[in-house]
Amino acid sequence: MASALEILEPTFRKFEKRARLDEGDREAFFSLPYEVHSYDPQRYIVREGDRAPAATIILNGLAYRHKVTVEGARQILSLHIPGDFVDLEGALLTVSDNNVQALTRCQVARVPCAAIISLIDNHARLARAMWIDTLIDASIYREWITNVGRRDALVAMCHLLCEFTRRLEVAGLAHREGYDLPMTQEQLADALGITPVHANRILRDLDARGLIMRDKRFVRVPDWEALRKVAGFNELYLHLDQAAVTPPVGILATVKI
């Protein structure tokens, strides 16, 4: 198995963008105990009601988060890509309120909650970086509420495609022009709060309009700007800019207003 350095590197690089981390932070992070697990597609990584003993980092592959209403309808809540902590909340909240399932086959690192808690109690800036990560997740949830609540199915689908494209692009996992979207139409429908039949019609419509080109599950975006415009996509909410702009520890502690 690869070393902690290789395994956890992408996640740490992401955190470095969120706060100024030093050698001590780096060392502590790479000393985290973990186990690598592998999940087949559709296998559950987290289950609602779980009292998770460990937090999970995706190493490769994709996962999705969802809830099921009492009537049995499923709503997909977020998509997770390599480097994402999929259940930091598992370490800090007592029980999980949702499910996380493997979308494609994926490998994850499981870090015991106690180690996470120790880490964040002793490394304030690292904690801040992780916290910022969860704030960005929250920001994406807010956009999804808007997507599902206030955009019609066609626009919402374009918005989802734009978001996914940009996130994959930033993570170095896809090109803006085309990538493999490993979701079934049923899963897309569950992310948009529509039926699979309707998702199908929307995709064909987008194809017919030349906004996307499909070949099986490979999606090509011939004209990114056109798709962006239809979606009304403004990537502010992804906070991709979030570099180490927060001031260093302590120096502003005495500021008064």
Partner DNA sequence: CGTTAGGTTGACTTGATTCAACAACAGTGG
Partner DNA sequence: CCACTGTTGTTGAATCAAGTCAACCTAACG
For residues 209 and 220, which CB has a smaller minimum distance to a second copy in the complex? 209
Q: How many CB atoms lie within 10 A of CB 83?
A: 21
Q: In what order do the strands lie in the sheet with 178-180?
A: 178-180, 218-220, 213-215
Which residue ranges make up the site for DNA (CB under 7 A)?
A: 152-154, 184-186, 193-198, 200-201, 203-204, 214, 217
Instruction: From 38, 40, 19, 42, select the one nearest 29 (Cα to Cα).
Output: 19
- Binds 186: which of DNA, a second copy, none (CB < 5-8 Å by kind): DNA
* Shortest spacing between CB 202 and DNA, in angstroms: 7
Q: Would strands 35-39 and 106-112 be described as parallel, antiparallel, or unpaired?
A: antiparallel
Residue closer to DNA (CB basis): 15 or 64: 64
Give dist(CA 39, CA 182) in Å, integer. 15
Binding partner selected for residue 255 from DNA, a second copy, none, CB under the kind-specific 5 to 8 Å limit: a second copy
Nearer residue to a second copy within complex by CB, 28 or 171: 28
CB closer to a second copy out of 136 and 213? 136
Let me know: does 12 contact 127? Beta carbons within 8 Å: no
Please state the φ and ψ torsions of residue 107, each to the nearest 5 degrees: -100, 140
Instruction: Report the nearest approach of DNA to the CB of residue 124 (Å).
Output: 44
Residue 154 interface partner, choices a second copy, DNA, none, CB cut-off 5-8 Å depending on type:
DNA
Q: How far is the CB of 152 from DNA (least distance, A)?
A: 3
Indicate which of DNA, a second copy, none lies near residue 2 (CB less than 5 to 8 Å, by partner kind): none
Which helix H or strand E contains 220, and what residues bound it? strand 218-220
